[in-house]
Chain A
Amino acid sequence: MPDWGVGLAIACGVLIAASAFGLLRRRRDGQMHPVTAADGDQPAHPPISLTDLGVRPGVPATLLQFSSAFCAPCRATRRICAEVATLLQGVDHVEVDAESHLEAVRALDIRRTPTVLVIDAAGRIVRRATGQPTKAQVIAAVAPLLTAHDSVNSDKRTVSRGRSSC
C-alpha cells in the first residue's frame, strides 16, 4: 500500500475510534454510580479521613468534588453542585484541588477530574460520578440521603443549611 493509503486508513480508523469513544464517554459522564463495600451492599467507610478534606461530619449529604486547574468541565460541575447545595437544605458542596491532595486522590482512587463523591452523614461514600453530572443527576443522588435523614431526625431539626465552600 502507498504511504498516502496507509495515512488515509489511519486517519479514518482514528476518527471512527475517537467518535465511538466520545459518544460512550458522553453517555457515561456524570452518572452517579452507587458505591458499596466489597463484602456487602452497604456503603464502606473511606480509607482516609474526609474531614481533613473539609467534609463536616453529620451533614446529611456532602458533594465532595475533586477538581484540577486544567479542567474545563470542573467549572460547570462546581456551578451545578453549588446550586444544589444552596437549593436543598442539608447538602454541602466541598471542592478539593486534586493536585495538592495526591495522597487522598490515590487513597480514594480518583482518576479523572471532575469526580464527585456523595458522602452521607456517617462519612461513608455512597455514590461516585466521574465527568460532569447534570443538576438532575446530583439532586437524584442526594435526595434519598435527605429523606432518610429526615425520618431519623424528624423531631430535632438540626439539618444544617446548604453551604458551598470553594
Chain B
Amino acid sequence: MALDPRGPRFAAWITTGVFVLVLVTSSGWLAAAQALVFAITTAAPRWGPYSLLYRTIVAPRLSPPTELEPAAPVRFSQAVGFVFAVLAAIGYLTGATTLGWIAAGAALGAAFLNAAFGFCLGCELYLLVLRTLNRPLPHRVPLPSEGANP
C-alpha cells in the first residue's frame, strides 16, 4: 500500500493543533478522540479521518503526487501516537493531570516534528529500541570466563 506523502504531513498538522488544544483545555475526551483517530489510521491509513479530509478537501486542489511513500512508517508512527494519546486521556480523565501533561506534551512534540520537518520520531527510536531489546541473552548476562565454561 502506498500513500501520497503530503497526506500524513497534513494529518500531522491537525494532530499538532489537537494536542495544543488538549494541553490548554486539559480535556481527556479530546485526547481520547485523538486516540480513536490514531487507532483508525493505524488499522487503515487511507481511511483515517484526517486522511479522508485530505483526500476529499485538500488533494483535489493540489497537483498529483510526484512520488508515493510506503504505508508502513505511517502506520507505525500512528501506533506510537495512539499509545501517547491513550496515556494522555487516562491522565486527564482520572485526575492524574501530570501524566496528561507529559503524554500530551510528548505527542505534541512528535506530531510537530513530523508536520514541520517530516521527521518521524517513532521511526527513529524504532532501531534504537530494537538494538537494545533484541539482544541475545549472553550479551545481557555476563558469561563466566571461557575456561570455566565447558
A10 vs B21: C-alpha distance when bound (angstroms)? 12
Q: Which residues of chain A come closer than 8 Å to B122, judged between CB atoms?
A: 70
Query: Are A75 and B69 neighbours in the complex by a CB distance under 8 Å?
Result: yes
Interface size on B, residues (CB 8 A): 37
Is A8 in contact with B119, judged by CB distance below 8 angstroms? no
A positions within 8 Å CB-CB of B: 3-4, 6-8, 10-11, 13-15, 17-19, 21-22, 25-26, 68-72, 75, 98-99, 102, 105-106, 110-113
A75 to B105 alpha-carbon distance, docked (Å)? 30
A14 touches B109 (CB 8 A): yes
Minimum CB distance partner of B100 in chain A: A7
Q: Is the CB of B112 within 8 A of A18?
A: yes
Question: Residue B123 contacts which of A6, A7, A18, A71 (CB distance < 8 angstroms)?
Answer: A71
Per-position 1/0 for B55-84, Cβ under 8 A of A = 000000000000001101100110000000
Contact A102:B123 (CB < 8 A) given known A14-B109, A26-B117: no
Of B23, B72, B119, B128, which contacts A22 at CB under 8 A?
A: B119
Closest chain B residue, CB of each to CB of A75: B69
Q: A68 to B126, Cβ gap below 8 A?
A: yes
B108 at the interface (CB under 8 A from A): yes
In the complex, B145 has a CB within 8 A of chain A: no
Q: Is the CB of B117 within 8 A of A22?
A: yes
Q: Is B36 an interface residue (CB 8 A)?
A: no
CB distance from B72 to the nearest CB of A (A): 5
List 26 A-B residue pairs with CB atoms under 8 Å apart, sorted by A's residue number: A4-B25, A6-B101, A7-B24, A8-B23, A11-B24, A13-B105, A17-B109, A18-B108, A18-B112, A19-B116, A21-B113, A26-B117, A69-B70, A70-B76, A70-B120, A72-B5, A72-B73, A72-B118, A72-B123, A75-B70, A99-B127, A99-B130, A102-B131, A102-B134, A110-B127, A111-B127
Cβ of A17: which chain B residues have Cβ within 8 Å of it?
109
Beyond A72-B69, A105-B127, 7 extra complex contacts between A and B, CB < 8 Å: A7-B104, A14-B105, A19-B112, A68-B123, A70-B76, A102-B130, A111-B127
